[in-house]
Amino acid sequence: MFSEELKQYDWQATTDAIAAKTAADVERALRSRRPGIDDFMALISPAAAPYLEQMAARSRALTQKRFGKTISMYIPLYITNSCTNSCVYCGFNRHNKFARVILTPAQIKDECEAIRRLAPFENLLIVTGENPRAAGTDYIEEALKVCRPYFNSLTMEVMPLSAEDYERLTHAGLNGVVCFQETYNRENYKKYHPAGMKSDFEWRVNGFDRMGQAGVHKIGMGVLIGLEDWRTDVTMMARHLLYLRKKYWKTRYSVNFPRMRPSESGFQPNVVMSDRELAQLTFAFRIFDNDIDISVSTRERPSFRDNIATLGATSMSAGSKTEPGGYHTYPQALEQFAVSDERTPAEVARAIHAQGYEVVWKDWDKIFD
């Protein structure tokens, strides 16, 4: 399991190594045909800031070579905000006083139909809080079966499960799993996750191994930008990705770099990442891994999303509602976080087309199940 391999990487030593990178290291990384972790650290380091234009050009060329001039579209469907965790930064924190919602199968069906009326989405991301007793594997399985007739590709972002449960859900139509480690800083992890099943660092970080063991088609990774030093966190994630690619080589992978947004929790980010730094990270990841799917959500502003669409990103959400039942059933329920891009899917699609790119609503078909 990766938790054992992670122990060989010292957090502070990694932080210091990134800070020590020089312009010569960055230039060497840009010349490399197969950049490694050391090159990746150079590309995300402060020393790489003057090379942003060169990184952007290489990122764009590599992305177009691998993915063409396309952006794949997806939409999230939150089906419950019921949660037993106490994550200090999250609006779904169990101590926040608001009405908890667990959508019924009939309500989930109504949400699917509302999304289908909104735009021709075929890629659905099902999102839940973490409440294994009230909304566990049985509930998730039923939700997948309800959604499957409406969408060709189903991904979920739920509590980490056992390998057996992941495999079981693949038979109910599951194509992919997204899980945010939040932070790889083992020492401080408990500070942000003081109670609930999410407080178990090993169980969460090893969930990606269990996905691989279950044969999940696509695994999504991410850290929450704002908790710890972002450069160190994403380096740990890059190491994790290398480990997964070697061990579960049949699986596709994606990454996302969500910056903290306002939520009911009132938690203020410890670290603020600028737009230029987020762009730098996107370019660095594309140069490091040419095949990775890089997703950008509606957390980001329209102008940033429009620009990054041609420079390294490959998938985007649009029209997102981050409250359970937000498309039809409970439009005023508590949202997990505030979105920044409130454009309709059609408006986002037009902005992408205006830059000479094609919008892909579907990249998976039931025939491949």
Give the pLDDT of residue 362. Answer: 81
Number of other CB atoms surrounding residue 162 within 10 Å: 14
Question: Which pair of tokens denotes residue 29?
Answer: 């990384």
Give the pLDDT of residue 72. Answer: 97
Cβ-contact 215, 170 below 8 angstroms = yes
Distances in Å between the Cα of 275 and the Cα atoms of 90, 201, 278, 280, 308 are 22, 29, 5, 9, 10
Tell me the pLDDT tens digit for each residue of 309-363. Answer: 999 999 999 999 988 999 998 765 555 556 789 999 999 999 999 999 999 998 7
Question: Which pair of tokens denotes residue 118?
Answer: 């909104």
Q: Is the dihedral of CA 47, 50, 52, 57 positive or negative?
A: negative
Give the pLDDT of residue 2. Answer: 98
Supply the DSSP symbol for 68: -
Cβ-contact 173, 142 below 8 angstroms = no
**Which residues, in sequence order, are CB contacts of 259 under 8 Å at separation 6+?**
225, 226, 269, 273, 278, 299, 300
Q: How far apart are CA 182 and CA 222, in angstroms?
A: 7
Cβ-contact 327, 127 below 8 angstroms = no
State how beta strands 153-157 and 123-128 pair.
parallel
Closest to 146 measured CA to CA, from 174, 179, 117, 177: 174
What is the maximum alpha-carbon separation in the chain?
Answer: 59
Give the pLDDT of residue 260. Answer: 85
Tell me the pLDDT tens digit for each residue of 251-266. Answer: 999 999 999 865 556 7
Cβ-contact 126, 324 below 8 angstroms = no
Positions of the chain with pLDDT lower than 50, given as ranges: none
- Which domains are assigned to the chain? 2-368 (3.20.20.70)
**Which residues, in sequence order, are CB contacts of 172 under 8 Å at separation 6+?**
141, 144, 145, 148
Give the pLDDT of residue 263. Answer: 56
Distances in Å between the Cα of 91 and the Cα atoms of 83, 267, 285, 306 are 10, 9, 29, 28
Buried b (16+ CB within 10 A) or exposed e, 268-288: eeeeebeeebbbbbbbbbbbb
Say if residue 146 is exposed, middle or buried (CB neighbours under 10 Å; 0-12, 13-18, 19+): buried
Give the pLDDT of residue 366. Answer: 56
Give the pLDDT of residue 97. Answer: 76
Beta bridge partners, 80, equal 102, 128
* Token pair 């059933």: residue: 329
